[in-house]
A and B are shown apart, each in its own frame.
Chain A
Amino acid sequence: MGRRRRRRRVDPADAARALPEAIAALSQTLPAGPSPETFRRAKFDRPEAAPALWRLLFRVLSPQLADGASASFSPEAQVRSVKLALRTQGYPRRALAQLPDDGSQGGRELLLALAWLLARGPLPERLLTQNRVQLGDEMPVCECEALASPGPPAPSVEADGCVDIRHLQWLMGKLRFRWRNLMASQQEQCALLGKIHSYTRGCHSDRSLGHLSVTETELLRDPEGGRQLLRRLERENARLQAALEWRRRELVFWRWMDTVLGACPPEASQPTFLPRIPTPGTGALEPLVRELQALQGELREAVEARRAAWEAGVGGRGPQWSAARTALREAVGQDLAALRQACERGGGCSLAQPHGPHRLVRTEAGVPGGPGLRAPEVIEALRSQEARLEVVLRQLQGQCRQELARLVGAPPGPVWILPPGR
């Protein structure tokens, strides 16, 4: 009996502490997080809370900036950048866009914006992943970064007039040269890594790793750098710990945010004009439309040709045929299921491939080794990827050849002698 009473007496104090502790965890895991007191002030829309929250949102929305770089942006620039980023992501409330650019107001609205970002995705974890301290020698095993490049490039700085095609040839040559250099440098780096890994075998306290990485060896060579690394590591550990804390306690934060939202006056529903935001205009989507159309055209041709050949050929006929046909259709359906899923909206990567950067670990040949990807498997996957891409490239080049031959026309035009050998 007495124990129950005591528990009840303790509860309100616990509840009162839960919110500030949750906010403290949140603010510790985010970069430039303000104090819980600032959050409280923001709920009541106090002006002194606004600058800190603008700064926080700026850091959160532009994580690619290094720690010190955000200081080079003026407060107005930060405010504008935050507004733009939020609108680009589809922030629903107009009030934010109407806040003054000097960053002096808007605590409550900024608080809502932060909560909106937190509700949509694992924000603290994402930020931590992006700015992670890398202790090992890492190599990505997928080509997702390679695929990330297409997109209309920014117009070149010099307003070029017309350009000679020979300039393009020169640029292509320069590109080939750079790739060759890159390959050579990469090979050298791998050789050096191999040496460093084998010279330091047995030195790592973690048996599954066995040897030191470049970063770790470097910290031994340069104690000052090592201390800096250690400090960064400890800071990251603190933020990771805070993120775990936040996960445990965030429910009370969301209850509180409901009250914050309730405290806001409802927005009038007439749509006011909002400044334009950069979006992929339809012009930018044109190349992709053309590409898909081209692909569709090629497929149509191929299908028509083969279907005609099929109809005309002996093919399968008779009662056994329909059963076989159904079986084949199913097989093809299954075969392409992964591809279909990848192409559909929001589908994941079609190949159930490992992704992301992996830490390189050198093992003795023949030793089974612990958990982790094996290099030969990755090499196999890359080889097949390379082969498929080469097929595509040859195909495209073949199309060009045909098209050019058609344009130049049949004889008695000039005779084309193709360069030797392939």
Chain B
Amino acid sequence: AALKGALRLQVSAALKEGHVTPTELCQQCLSLIKSTKFLNAYVTVAEETALKQAEESEKRHRRGQPLGVLDGIPVAVKDNFNTAGIETTCASNMLKGYISPYNATVVQKLLDQGAVLLGKTNLDEFAMGSGSTDGIFGPVRNPWSYSRQYKGKSVPKSHSEDEESNWVITGGSSGGSAAAVSSFTCFAALGSDTGGSTRNPAAHCGVVGLKPTYGLISRHGLIPLVNSMDVPGILTRCVDDAAIVLGSLAGHDPKDSTTIQDNFKPFELPNLTDVSKLSIGIPKEYHAPGLSSEILALWSKAADLFKNAGAKVIEVSLPHTCYSIVCYHVLCTAEVASNMARFDGLEYGHRSDMNKSTESLYAATRREGFNDVVRGRILSGNFFLLKQNYENYFIKAQKVRRLIANDFVKVFRSGVDILLTPTTLSDAVPYMEFIKEDNRTRSAQDDILTQAANMAGLPAINVPTALSKRGLPVGLQFIGRSFQEKQLLTVAKWFEKQVKFPMIQLEEVKRHDRNVFQYQKSASFS
């Protein structure tokens, strides 16, 4: 009966004290998943295994020996992480029905700490997109579309039309995970973040979305988009929870040679009382074309908040930001072209019936297995990697990437602790609006404020900040120094406390379980 709680502050304690059992919690989540099925947040619901895991957790709790804070906590995982025994599809025909024989390291770590895996969440095919609209399972609907806050403010039309044409996208590509956390069907979810795929939907769905430093969390078992930028992302309802999940996932993995060698020490976030020693940078280049006035206003309000609390707030410049999207496009498609080469229908995944020759089998398999977006990226990536183009595109893009990364190094070296930027250009747009533009245009626009952090490998977090005039969430992004997650999250937590982002008011959740509301405020950390 603590569905809406935060891990650290409420649920974990409730579990520990026996106010709620892992099985109850799991069952509630499962039935909420069912009643919010129209959101299309989940691709696979692993009801049976989840209940079994909950049962095991319950035994541990009864013995008074839980495995940790996460023991018994229901979580969801984006469907581009391998999960042994549970289908892993990447929302692609290529992997439909594919059951991996192994768990991604992050999934294994969650399970090892007693988390209950509810299922796999929806995404854009192979995480290529910024709307969670381009997967074979159809688009994810933003839970806020059905919130009292949004409905109250949207232009009244006939009721049915309203529901069908006014619902807004979640952003992406981890839209399923963001929607799952936002609609209370799980307490934390894993996303992936290559150009903003965790922070973007987090902003649109009003949840916390953390993209850790590249190399802090293992990518082993994450089906790659861009290996040199991919990072498992964490979606939670509050910053403290993000820190808890981060603590349970971070650290060296012998199976991923790009993870840091040093030991990672999980941390608790202090309650910052004094921000006067902080230096907050406001990168002027993030005042990008297309930035809505509403978000701009919110951004400067946030800057004032820090200033008024005594922090040093200074405008800084990241001069190469404007080249970031073009550069990203080249590097991303090149790696995509390479990473997708393995999907040939021979070892696993979809295989075409065409068997005239090996080549025709490959061609048909890949044509049938991938959508236009994936195929388009494969084609452009291969173009950039051609011998005659390599210098002009790939090498140049790598050099620009270095310049972008150096921009951040310089700013942080100048004494700035944290950068504050918007996460998205605007609040979430209705699906009907969104699909007027193609995936490429959308991705280029939507990643603009987020993907420089991926280029530089830096940690960044979306913190839900306020509701827009339309009643939709708007988030701001904090970007920190490499491996300085503790500092980043501490500042984010302070900010979270100041802005008091409102809770989503969902009819479905209310209808589903009145107890949820009744208990969620009473359950608190002892």
- Do A and B belong to a common assembly? no
A interface residues, Cβ below 8 angstroms from B: none
B interface residues, Cβ below 8 angstroms from A: none
